[in-house]
Structure 1
Amino acid sequence: MPRTKHFFSFATGDLVRAVVPKGKKVGTYNGRVAVRASGSFNVTTAHGTVQGINHRHVRLLQRADGCAYTLRKETGVSSRP
């Protein structure tokens, strides 16, 4: 039986944002996802890899399309003229 490369509409290499509201891994993580059939994913951020993030906490930012994208801090708009 051939393996499946997509789980819960995510594929390995997709850029995602994971917002974990409670538990041991509480926080917000932006990075690349590595999918698992069990439904818990690995998210590789600029600071390291967070393992065991449930698919319910993950939102897609960019599909893996073969290009390498970098993550950078978002800057707000200044209210001063």
Structure 2
Amino acid sequence: MRTAPEKMLKLVAIAMGGIVLLMMAIELRDAVKEERAAPVSVTPDDPLRTELARCRALAPEALETDTACRAAWAENRRRFFDGPPQGLED
């Protein structure tokens, strides 16, 4: 059988663990809010980046029918996987 101090110590340990978990959840929530609030920098001389920024703001239902966004994402994938355009390599 446990004594009263052992029970109290266990209760305090459980309470502190709960407080730590609560603080971690609050920090994670704040980090997600800051990430969403950060504006996307758009380079005005790159129309693809401007189009991709516009497409990010659309609802998923609108993306299914927006052919300009589909083309922009396809071009972005092509650039990413194919590497830099020919003639720009050092």
Q: What's the TM-score bracket when you normalise by the shorter of the two chains?
A: under 0.3
Which has the larger share of helix?
Answer: 2
Select the structure of larger CA radius of gyration.
2
Greater fraction strand:
1
- The normalised TM-score by structure 2 is 0.18
Select the structure with the greater relative contact order (CA < 8 A; seq sep ≥ 6).
1
